[in-house]
Structure 1
Amino acid sequence: MRARLRAGDPEAFRQLYQDLGQAIYAHAYRATGDWSAAEDAVSLTFLEVWRLRERLQAGDESVRPWVYAIATDVLRNRGRAARRHHQTLARFGAHQFIYVKSKVGFTHQIKQRTIGGPAELDAVHQREVWLAADPSRNGLIREGGQNITIHNSGTGVVDPDAAPQSARPGTVPQIASLSTDPDTLLKQIYTATRGLSPGKNAAAFNWIGETVSESIVPEDVASAIWRAAAKIPGVVLVKDATDAAGRHGEAIAHVSDGERTEYIFDRNTHLFLGERSYLIKDTPEGKAGMLTGTSAVLSRAVVDTMGDLPTGTRT
């Protein structure tokens, strides 16, 4: 078995999953007490088993201890992420702001005052955002040497009875209150994006990017978002993708209007790392393969005043 796994034999991997899948699920459920988190841990464990297969030492011994060790690492990493996010949420007050620092680069039209013409990618640069906890207050974007006011920066609620609205999901408490059941969450997403361009599934996928990119998302909700995204028709899993900071993770990808967008997540925690988008066919904007966007979230924090930086942050 070890030799076959090291060689990348798919049949050996399927057999390993059949032999140990339920045992790893039971191990994860005992650790988390949550069936959804346990299922996530199983998926992540076997993804890691496949990724690390060449490190498996040769021999005749059972691979069971090695797989259990990987599962334990996955659970430990998820637990650390959950504690960090719960601590952040516990300190978040209605008067405060979410601070997000990123590296970004997106396309702009080469000729000003044109729509749909040739475009080029901006140099990757720093972007800082302050989003208000109170939905009635303004926020701020600091990018490219400019300060841009975000009016009513926290608005937008996932409400089944609400009319179509902006894709931005709203405040941290609203995001934290989203369902952690993927099927229920997907229904909430479709409700929140009803009637929005460029279509039902593309709008739902865009909502996910809006939600995870510049907010603080609890670990259990982030995991549910990942699982809900996989249920959107046309969404595919990318096993290795790279953000603007050079970090590797898994991505969910969707194609709309000739452009493929990948939202990149940490393999273990499903926390958002960044995004990458590119053209898959020739368009008025550019040739197939042209990079149209790249980003990486570098830090998230809670601050008391719009424009404040977290302690120890450098601009």
Structure 2
Amino acid sequence: MKNTIAPLRQEPEPEVDRDKQVTLETWHSLDGKQTALDDGRGKLVIAPVGPGVTSADLGTAPVTPEEMISRIGASIDATPASAFDEAHVTRQERIFLTISSLLSGQPLAADARAALFRALPLIQGVAVKQGAVDAAGRHGVAFVYTGAYERSEIIVSAQDYRFLGTYGETVADRTFDLPGGATHTVKAGIPVAWTAQLAAKVVGKPGARP
């Protein structure tokens, strides 16, 4: 799978630089349980995916929009909260973000992919935005979920509804506590994610190219 992303402008700030693009190649097992990435030195790093729902979990009949939401919701409910989970993120937002992650980083059967797209309008709070643009400059339509602090977009082609990429932007100022009693405020209107999926092909093993 080949993706273009906007890199972070300056760590540890969450803002991405929309004037720059980095192209990454990743490999994903067909069951959705492993992923591989070049470490930048020519070595493949293979890691498990999870916890959470995978493409294998979504392929069992019935493959319907309602069932996709049910299975993803059940996975979210069954996953213990971690130190990184934030209380302001609603269950609906988690379902939306999980679908975004599945579409952008999992090999999905055609019926499961179609069911996920059809599930998006069923999520309370999801809106449709015209004129969305992915990190490769392609124009499309976006499914949008606006949470307490961030707006997330899943961008699809207006012609054939294939997945194009994602976009995320802060929608409210947010102040974080830092060690030593200091604080840091992330302002509203900052882009925090911008991606484009350029290609997805089936190959025989991690590291192989079509």
Q: Normalising by structure 2, what TM-score?
A: 0.77
Which is greater in Rg? Answer: 1
Alignment of 1:122-133 (within 5 A): 122=17, 123-133=20-30
Tell me the residue number matched to 2:15: 120
Change (3 A) 1:194 1:133: same
**Separation of aligned partners in 2, 1:288 and 1:240:** 21
**Separation of aligned partners in 1, 2:44 and 2:152:** 25
Question: Secondary structure of 2:94's match?
Answer: helix
Match among 42, 47, 53 for residue 151 of structure 1: 47
**Separation of aligned partners in 2, 1:281 and 1:119:** 14
1:201 lines up with 2:92 in the alignment: yes
Higher relative contact order (CA 8 A, sep 6+): 2
TM-fit CA distance, 1:190: 1.1
1:186 lines up with 2:69 in the alignment: yes
Partner amino acid for 1:219?
A: A
Tell me the residue number matched to 2:203: 303
Partner amino acid for 1:290?
A: I
Question: Secondary structure of 2:77's match?
Answer: coil
**Separation of aligned partners in 2, 1:145 and 1:108:** 22
Question: Secondary structure of 1:238's match?
Answer: strand
Question: Secondary structure of 2:174's match?
Answer: coil
Tell me the residue number matched to 1:102: 3
Question: Does the 8 Å CA contact 2:29/2:107 hold for their aligned counterparts?
Answer: no
Could you tell me which runs of 5 or more consecutive residues in structure 2 were left unpaired when the two chains were aligned. Answer: 80-84, 176-184
Partner amino acid for 1:120?
A: E
Taking only the aligned residue pairs, the percentage that are identical comes to: 25
Q: Deviations over 1:9-64 (max 9, x none)?
A: xxxxxxxxxxxxxxxxxxxxxxxxxxxxxxxxxxxxxxxxxxxxxxxxxxxxxxxx
Structure whose residues are more often strand by fraction: 2
Q: Normalising by structure 1, what TM-score?
A: 0.53
RMSD of the alignment, in Å?
2.7
